[in-house]
Copies of this chain bind each other. A is one copy, B any other.
């Protein structure tokens, strides 16, 4: 049988996991992750073009967070004009791989979701 301490430890851990999921299951994080995975090392502005709809602010913020979480490596080249590039760490790569299933799901089930939406809206 499991001790009370073990149960409490598990609860703390799953709270942390939920927290991490909350961080990582974010629209921009996923999209940036995908852009970095697909096109490899690239610069800030390139990356921005690869993630349609993102603002520079959210791009900066998302990249900072991903860097802090160890998903992305940021390299500053001390030149003028400034040159900064980003690439996935192995941790970031592994997350991207984990997200692969979601991408496939989205591609495969896009039509079903659209159908469900129109059916739902009609029902209103």
Contacts and interface: CB of A to CB of B under 8 A. Distances in A.
Give this chain's copy count.
2
Interface string A1-42: 000000000000101111011101111011100000000000
A100 B103 contact: no
Q: How large is the interface on A (under 10, 10 to 19, 20 to 34, 35 or more residues)?
A: 35 or more
The binding surface of chain A is classed by DSSP as helix
A70 B117 contact: yes
A106 B113 CA distance: 27
A27 B91 CA distance: 20
Contact of A91 (B15, B16, B31, B109): B109
B18 A116 contact: no
A3 to B, nearest CB: 21
B109 A94 contact: yes
23 contacts: A13-B110, A16-B110, A17-B110, A20-B113, A21-B27, A21-B31, A21-B103, A25-B25, A25-B102, A26-B26, A26-B27, A67-B120, A68-B117, A69-B113, A70-B112, A70-B115, A91-B109, A91-B113, A98-B101, A99-B101, A100-B101, A101-B102, A102-B102
